[in-house]
Chain A
Amino acid sequence: QQQVKQSPQSLIVQKGGISIINCAYENTAFDYFPWYQQFPGKGPALLIAIRPDVSEKKEGRFTISFNKSAKQFSLHIMDSQPGDSATYFCAASKAGGYNKLIFGAGTRLAVHP
């Protein structure tokens, strides 16, 4: 019940295309869903996050779509650029007590010019 399942494992997109990464969770107590971007040799950097009270959140080229009934959320990267090539992790945590993040396994995105 603590798992967050992420797909696909890897993704290749042409420059200017849309990258879509999906995550699913089981624990309905989760109420905070961030996405992190990680470059090789670096720590994860927060991209964007959403709470279940909204179905979509957009920041620049990055959009999170959230489906509470399906317990799924996804990251869309519009106009993908080679500089977006990185590993992306979805995560989830629940309110109350300590807020440990449960991470997905990651998606390695390659944007080709």
Chain B
Amino acid sequence: ETGVTQSPTHLIKTRGQQVTLRCSSQSGHNTVSWYQQALGQGPQFIFQYYREEENGRGNFPPRFSGLQFPNYSSELNVNALELDDSALYLCASSSKGETQYFGPGTRLLVL
């Protein structure tokens, strides 16, 4: 069974740029959630995708958007990057229940 994978592992961008982060869900999982984890804090829910539709959203602006593909992999897109967007971005997959399994994350640094 393949776990949750994310790419890239690290990324450096400048303010105002756009970024796309990718996530492959665990085999058999049809739901993907994205979280932002600032340094020294707990993860904050961004949004969740179920069967290619956004299934819920946290308190993040519209410049955070996402996609889920037929194979249940997912992308997180962030436009007009701000310095405060620097964080670890986590993807978690789940299926038919609450247990969410996290990937290793993508560390984004915005300069």
Contact call A89/B98, Cβ cutoff below 8 A: no
Q: Please judge, given known A-B contacts A32-B98, A34-B99, A105-B42, whether A43 and B105 are in contact too, CB under 8 Å.
A: yes
Contact call A97/B42, Cβ cutoff below 8 A: no
B48 at the interface (CB under 8 A from A): yes
Which residues of the partner chain B approach A42 to less than 8 Å between Cβ atoms?
A: 104-105
CB of A7 to closest CB in B, whole Å? 13
In angstroms, Cα B44 to Cα A46, docked, is 16
Which residues of the partner chain B approach A89 to less than 8 Å between Cβ atoms?
A: 42-43
B66 at the interface (CB under 8 A from A): no
Which residues of the partner chain B approach A43 to less than 8 Å between Cβ atoms?
A: 4, 6, 90, 102-105
Number of A-B contacts (CB under 8 A): 62
Q: Please judge, given known A-B contacts A44-B90, A89-B42, whether A100 and B56 are in contact too, CB under 8 Å.
A: yes
In angstroms, Cα B42 to Cα A91, docked, is 9
In angstroms, Cα B99 to Cα A101, docked, is 10
Nearest residue in B to A49 (C-beta to C-beta)? B99
B94 at the interface (CB under 8 A from A): yes
In angstroms, Cα B43 to Cα A45, docked, is 13
Contact partner of B41 (CB less than 8 A), chosen from A45, A97, A105, is A105
For B41-52 the 0/1 string (1 means CB < 8 A from A) is 111110010100
Which residues of the partner chain A approach B97 to less than 8 Å between Cβ atoms?
A: 99
A93 at the interface (CB under 8 A from B): yes
Contact call A101/B45, Cβ cutoff below 8 A: yes
Nearest residue in B to A4 (C-beta to C-beta)? B42
B55 at the interface (CB under 8 A from A): yes
Contact call B44/A98, Cβ cutoff below 8 A: no
User: A-contacting residues of B (Cβ < 8 Å)?
Assistant: 4, 6, 33, 35, 40-45, 48, 50, 55-56, 58, 90, 92, 94, 97-105
User: B-contacting residues of A (Cβ < 8 Å)?
Assistant: 6, 32, 34, 36, 41-46, 49, 89, 91, 93, 95, 97-106
Q: List 10 A-B contacts (CB under 8 A).
A: A34-B98, A34-B99, A41-B104, A46-B100, A49-B98, A95-B98, A99-B98, A99-B100, A101-B92, A103-B42
